[in-house]
Amino acid sequence: MSRPMNDRRIVRLASKDREPRDASDSAPVSYGVLPQLLGFHLRRSQTAVFSHFMEFVSPEESITPGLFGMLEVIAANEGLAQSELAKAMGVDRSTIVKAIDQLEARRLIARRPSSDDKRRHRLCLTPAGKAARARIRELILNHEALLVRSRLSTEEVQTLIGLLERLCQGAQPASFP
Amino acid sequence: MSRPMNDRRIVRLASKDREPRDASDSAPVSYGVLPQLLGFHLRRSQTAVFSHFMEFVSPEESITPGLFGMLEVIAANEGLAQSELAKAMGVDRSTIVKAIDQLEARRLIARRPSSDDKRRHRLCLTPAGKAARARIRELILNHEALLVRSRLSTEEVQTLIGLLERLCQGAQPASFP
DNA sequence: TATTGTTATACTCTATAACTATA
DNA sequence: TATAGTTATAGAGTATAACAATA
């Protein structure tokens, strides 16, 4: 296929030798070469999912995708150090401090002293944090189901995730989403 | 399939009733439920492509994905107004001002007066802008080829883009990538 | 010397609100 | 009144550099 199916030039060229647009020109804009680029679609998709999260999940639980990601990683690795969390989230260790401050201020996690290395803080979920994590998890699964499952089949979602995983093989980790 | 192939719990459970991690624990962290979420993979992928762009394209042409996106949209819609560009990029019209200032300072685009509506600026590429656009376009196609084509076949990329387009149907536009 | 957590600082990207000049 | 561009401002999110405590 020499012309990908997402090439907007088709639409563009169909609109008969148009003049440069003016104030009264309400035709949809052309995105040029962008629709041929995977990066463009990844950006749009990520933005769409993020926005839906902020609409559907955040008002319920006052949580951002990034903070939930941290909660989840802490829960799945009880006692990990802040530096380890930062590495897992793909950010500098200085960046993680304020985020952890927030989760701690809300009593969702605790910084516990490490017995064998006094420099380290062992991050753990509080009971309230565990309860919140369970609630948010359900909410997020619903959010994804609502947004994604209405447009793609279960098989297609698995195909999509599989392709994205292969694209990211060897890449550094990243915060969520 | 009740357990998706990307479920990291498999790895987790295989590591025999582990103690909470301590300083000497160098096992890879678990991401909990995140690998089941499309948003997680979209975020990772978008970050990976963005990083590669910044490594491969930016040093050559001092351009960001966002600025190239604007250049491309202006080129494909000569004479569009700043508000129209902002809408196409999915940002507020106040956000676009400084970005356009940059492109104009580099003599890649020009704000031309509109004859019929003196409030409007018609955005156009300069000859230097057209040349830069052509060069950057080639560079970006190479960057995508290098990053994506080494991991996915042409068919797989088309499948991926097709699925992402369906995911975004009805969503607002977005800057690139 | 090296590492962990922290702080100060700066930079980018973003939106909101208010302004001006036009319509 | 409403719209196009602009400015001031504020809030996220990020990194770098330097610091104290500890290894």
Q: pLDDT tens digits, residue range B106-145?
A: 999 999 999 999 999 999 999 999 999 999 999 999 999 9
Chain centre distance of CA A6: 24
Give me A28's structure tokens: 């949809």
Q: In the block, which residue shows the tokens 């018609």?
A: B122
Which of B11, B38, B70 to mutate to test binding with chain A, by most A CBs within 10 Å of its CB?
B38
Determine the Cα–Cα distance for residues B145 and A89; give it in Å rounded to an integer: 27
Are B104 and B110 contacting, i.e. CB atoms less than 8 angstroms apart? yes
pTM: 0.87
Q: pLDDT tens digits, residue range A90-120?
A: 999 999 999 999 999 999 999 999 999 999 9
Q: Which residues of A touch B145 (CB under 8 A)?
A: none
Q: Do B164 and A160 touch (CB under 8 A)?
A: yes
Query: Which residues sit opposite B112 in a β-bridge?
Result: B122
What's chain B's length in residues? 177
Determine the Cα–Cα distance for residues A47 and A59; give it in Å rounded to an integer: 18
Determine the Cα–Cα distance for residues A155 and B4; give it in Å rounded to an integer: 10
- Closest CA–CA distance from residue A105 to any residue of chain B (Å): 23
Q: Supply the pLDDT for residue A124.
A: 98
Q: Supply the pLDDT for residue B149.
A: 85
SS3 of residue A65 by DSSP: helix
Q: Which of A35, A31, A43 is nearest to B80 (CA)?
A: A31
Q: Do B144 and A5 touch (CB under 8 A)?
A: no
Nucleotide closest in space to B92 (CA vs C1'): C15
Among the partner-chain residues B39, B49, B171, the one whose CB lies closest to the CB of A53 is B39
Mean pLDDT of chain A: 86
Q: Can you list the domains of chain B with their CATH numbers?
A: 57-161 (1.10.10.10)
- Closest CA–CA distance from residue A99 to any residue of chain B (Å): 17
Spanning CA of A88 to C1' of D17, the rounded length in angstroms is: 23
